[in-house]
């Protein structure tokens, strides 16, 4: 009886996730250069004068990653583009790298920030400063460690203009080394898609929204209308929070896969990922620990339930868990538009879920003990963070 009950609960959970996610995933958009729609995307606005795009980067201690990022931006095929890079209180050679690049690249402007004003998170303040200098009709917010295909900006702009989109978020390919880091990263991304449903952000009546730090392309008029980064001044998940403000304000939003357009090495090791998620593990739960506890326990139950049942159940009981795991794998396959990851990685979910569970719980406990988060060299209290949600 126990196996029937547990199996029915697990299968029901995956059926509900499937019903919620399959329609959006089946109509997901890919902007990769090799797609059959690529030529149509490129031709959509060929006869119009291309609007200017301002690429905005906030860099703190990114001296090693910046040269590759700047080189890939300099090679872009979009005709009218400027880059504004902010050296946000770096303690390495970031400022020197940016100054050297600007000396031979007229389209690159550099801002150096030495102090952080009250009421702001560092990255958010840096991007706000960059936006005030931007002369473009469109703003592309990106990170200092992203490498772009030469057609990345052009492909995204053609698609946004052809479809009258106000905010286009593009998912990059994630470079990760080592089995445990890769499976933890893929698990994290899979969970984000299933829980927050960014693929439904283009539906006006849906509550879903999207924001990608590596590629947030926004009309400047839209950005200004929602208050820019001032509206998310205290949010460590500024990319996602800005997307939420844009969606709630009634602007048209879209989430697209771009795994052949841009790539980023999110973390260099599992240890680095563990420390990196300290800043935003609680952000989706409004820094409320009861919401976080409920969320991570459900995550562990849902992702590990099918595999655990297959191992311990027998006979017809096992069929419930096998069916649930089949749905889990199928949904993972559908998310490949945004991840570019082989379906075989779905079979690592039962071992990656506990790893991610540990990382998130550790982050929450540290936040509780410290009374806040430490990010980019500055401490932010729970009281401040909760006010910003």
198 DSSP 8-state letter:
G
Three-state SS at 38: helix
- Same domain (yes/no): 258, 145: yes
- Which is nearest to 226 in space by CA: 191, 250, 255? 250
Domain range for 299: 2-23+279-388
Q: How many CB atoms lie within 10 A of CB 90?
A: 23
DSSP 3-state assignment of 322? helix
Of the residues 231, 250, 273, the one at which a domain ends: 273
Residue 192 near residue 198, CB atoms below 8 Å: yes
Q: Residue 240's domain is classified under what CATH number?
A: 3.90.550.10
Q: Are residues 16 and 68 in the same domain?
A: no
Residue 176: phi and psi, rounded to 5, are -145, 140
pLDDT of residue 285: 81
Q: How many domains does the chain have?
A: 2
pTM greater than the 0.85 cutoff:
yes
Which residue is it, tokens 């400022």? 95
Q: What is the 3-state secondary structure (H, E, C) of 330-364?
A: HHHHHCHHHHCCCHHHHHHHHHHHHHHHHHHHHHH
Same domain, 247 and 299: no
Q: Which two tokens stand for residue 213?
A: 């730090």
- In this structure, what are the phi and psi dihedrals at residue 108, rounded to the nearest 5 degrees? -105, 125
Q: Residue 42: what pLDDT?
A: 47
297 shares its domain with 342 = yes
Query: Is 77 in the same domain as 97?
Result: yes
Q: Residue 361 carries which DSSP code?
A: H
Angular region, 255: left φ>0, alpha ψ -120 to 50, beta rest: beta
Q: Are residues 87 and 204 in the same domain?
A: yes
How many Cα atoms occupy the beta-carbon half-sphere of 205 within 13 Å?
0
Beta strands in the chain (DSSP E): 29-30, 53-59, 81-88, 108-113, 138-142, 146-148, 167-171, 173-174, 216-219, 253-257, 262-264, 372-375, 378-381
Which residue, of 210, 241, 273, is where some domain finishes? 273
Q: Is 339 helix (H, G, I), strand (E, B) or coil?
A: helix
Provide the pLDDT for residue 378: 76
Based on the fold, state whether residues 341 and 258 are members of the same structural domain: no
Best CA proximity match to 175, nearest among 167, 166, 186, 165: 186
How far is CA 265 from each of CA 24, 62, 174, 255, rounded to the nearest angstrom?
A: 27, 13, 6, 20
Same domain (yes/no): 303, 249: no
Q: Based on the fold, state whether residues 173 and 260 are members of the same structural domain.
A: yes
**Same domain assignment for residues 346 and 310:** yes
User: Quick one: 84 and 137 in the same domain?
Assistant: yes
Pairing of strands 167-171, 216-219: antiparallel
CA distance 250 to 108: 33
Q: Look at residues 273, 305, 335 and tell me which one is the last residue of a structural domain.
A: 273
User: How many residues would you count in the chain?
Assistant: 389
pLDDT given at position 44 = 46
CB burial of 108-121 (b: ≥16 within 10 Å; e: otherwise) equals bbbbebeebeeebb
Q: How far apart are CA 386 and CA 133, in angstroms?
A: 30
Stretches in the chain below the pLDDT threshold 70: 1-2, 32-48, 376, 388-389
The structure tokens 């906030």 sit at 58
Say yes or no: 59 and 143 in one domain: yes
């Amino acid at each position: 009886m126990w196996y029937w009950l547990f199996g029915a609960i697990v299968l029901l959970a995956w059926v509900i996730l499937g019903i919620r996610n399959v329609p959006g995933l089946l109509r997901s958009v890919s902007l990769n250069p090799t797609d059959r729609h690529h030529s149509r995307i490129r031709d959509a606005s060929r006869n119009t004068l291309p609007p200017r795009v301002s690429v905005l980067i906030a860099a703190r201690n990114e001296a090693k990653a910046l040269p590759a990022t700047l080189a890939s931006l300099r090679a872009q095929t979009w005709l009218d583009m400027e880059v504004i890079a902010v050296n946000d209180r770096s303690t390495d050679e970031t400022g020197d790298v940016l100054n050297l690049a600007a000396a031979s690249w007229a389209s690159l402007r550099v801002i150096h920030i030495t102090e952080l004003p009250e009421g702001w998170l560092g990255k958010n303040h840096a991007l706000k400063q960059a936006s005030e200098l931007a002369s473009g009709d469109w703003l592309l917010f990106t990170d200092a460690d992203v490498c772009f295909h030469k057609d990345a900006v052009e492909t995204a702009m053609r698609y946004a203009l052809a479809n009258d989109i106000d905010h286009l978020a593009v998912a990059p390919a994630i470079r990760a080394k080592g089995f445990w880091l890769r499976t933890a990263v893929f698990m994290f991304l899979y969970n984000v898609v299933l829980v927050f449903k960014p693929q439904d952000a283009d539906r006006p009546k849906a509550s879903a929204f999207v924001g990608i730090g590596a590629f947030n392309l926004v009309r400047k008029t839209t950005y200004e209308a929602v208050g820019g980064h001032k509206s998310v001044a205290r949010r460590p998940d500024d990319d996602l929070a800005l997307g939420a403000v844009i969606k709630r304000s009634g602007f048209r939003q879209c989430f697209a896969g771009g795994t052949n357009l841009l790539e980023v090495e999110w973390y260099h090791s599992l240890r680095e990922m563990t420390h990196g998620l300290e800043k935003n593990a609680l952000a989706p739960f409004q820094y409320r620990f009861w919401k976080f506890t409920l969320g991570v326990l459900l995550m562990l139950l849902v992702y590990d339930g099918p595999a655990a049942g297959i191992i311990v159940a027998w006979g017809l009981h096992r069929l419930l868990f096998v069916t649930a795991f089949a749905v889990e794998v199928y949904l993972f396959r559908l998310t490949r538009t945004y991840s570019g990851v082989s379906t075989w990685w779905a079979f690592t979910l039962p071992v990656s879920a506990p790893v991610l569970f540990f990382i998130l719980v550790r982050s929450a406990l540290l936040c509780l003990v410290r009374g806040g988060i430490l990010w980019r060299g500055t401490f932010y209290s729970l009281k401040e963070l909760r006010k910003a949600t």
